[in-house]
Structures are given as structure tokens and as C-alpha cells.
């Protein structure tokens, strides 16, 4: 949060100095207040960062997929994951990320077994 606050302060200074600035309330915006161009972000920032850190060359979009997969694999409710991804329903989320389900199904079966057989003792 400290980094975001510092960025906001710098952004306000930039806005004051700009001849024209279309303030649309973006946290990250171009020097004129417009939305950032994804291609520029990838080319100027994301790809160089991956290279600098010795990480595999992935697409920016792959971070979204990884986030959803990790959340589902940790048992986060699919409705929550669906909302974070901006999907209209969990159907799309579960169709795309169903590869996470096999382990989740086993975990659910194990938990049910524990409930049935351990609670009666």
C-alpha cells in the first residue's frame, strides 16, 4: 500500500504539471490520463522484468490463469474465483479450470469419509 500511495502522490504532481490530462480515476494511466496500452506494458515492463529475474517467457494473461488455478487448488469457492475473473457465472470458470478439480474431488471424498467415520466414534 505504501508503494501505491507514493505512486498516487507522484501522479498528482504529474497531473499538476501536465498541459492536458483527462483524469479518469485510473491508478495507472498514461501521461495524459488515458488507459495504459497493454502492448506497451508488456514490451517495456513485463517482458524485461521476466528476463531480468530469469523467469520463463510467459504471456501477461498467463498470470490470470495461474491466479485462478492456485485459488481453486487451495479450495477457494469457485464463485469467488469467478467473480475475481469477471466471469458472468461459475460455469465458464469451471469449464476452463476443471483440470484443478481431480485433486479437489479426492479431498472432498476424504473429508466426507472423515465426517462419516470419525464423528461416530
Predicted local distance difference test score (pLDDT) of residue 19: 87
pTM of structure: 0.61
Q: How confident is the model over 90-102, as pLDDT tens digits?
A: 999 988 887 776 7
46: which residues sit within 8 A by CB, 6+ positions away? Answer: 60
**Residue that the C-alpha cell 469467478 belongs to:** 82
Residue boundaries of the structural domains of the chain: 58-121
Q: In this structure, what C-alpha cell is assigned to residue 6?
A: 507514493
Alpha helices in the chain (DSSP H): 2-17, 38-41, 47-52, 61-73, 78-85, 90-96, 101-118
Cell reading at 118: 470419525
Encode pLDDT of 5-36 as tens digits: 999 999 999 899 888 899 898 989 988 899 99
> Are residues 107 and 73 in contact, defined by beta-carbon separation less than 8 angstroms?
no
Confidence at residue 119, expressed as pLDDT on a 0 to 100 scale = 66
Amino acid at each position: 500500500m505504501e508503494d501505491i500511495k507514493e505512486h498516487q502522490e507522484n501522479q498528482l504532481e504529474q497531473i499538476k504539471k501536465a498541459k492536458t490530462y483527462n483524469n479518469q480515476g485510473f491508478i495507472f494511466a498514461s501521461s495524459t490520463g488515458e488507459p495504459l496500452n497493454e502492448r506497451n506494458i508488456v514490451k517495456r515492463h513485463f517482458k524485461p522484468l521476466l528476463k531480468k529475474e530469469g523467469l520463463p517467457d510467459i504471456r501477461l494473461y498467463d498470470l490470470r490463469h495461474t491466479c485462478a488455478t492456485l485459488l481453486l487448488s487451495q479450495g477457494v469457492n469457485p464463485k469467488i474465483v469467478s467473480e475475481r475473473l469477471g466471469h458472468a457465472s461459475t460455469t465458464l470458470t469451471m469449464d476452463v479450470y476443471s483440470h484443478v478439480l481431480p485433486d479437489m474431488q479426492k479431498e472432498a471424498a476424504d473429508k466426507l469419509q472423515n465426517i462419516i467415520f470419525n464423528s461416530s466414534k
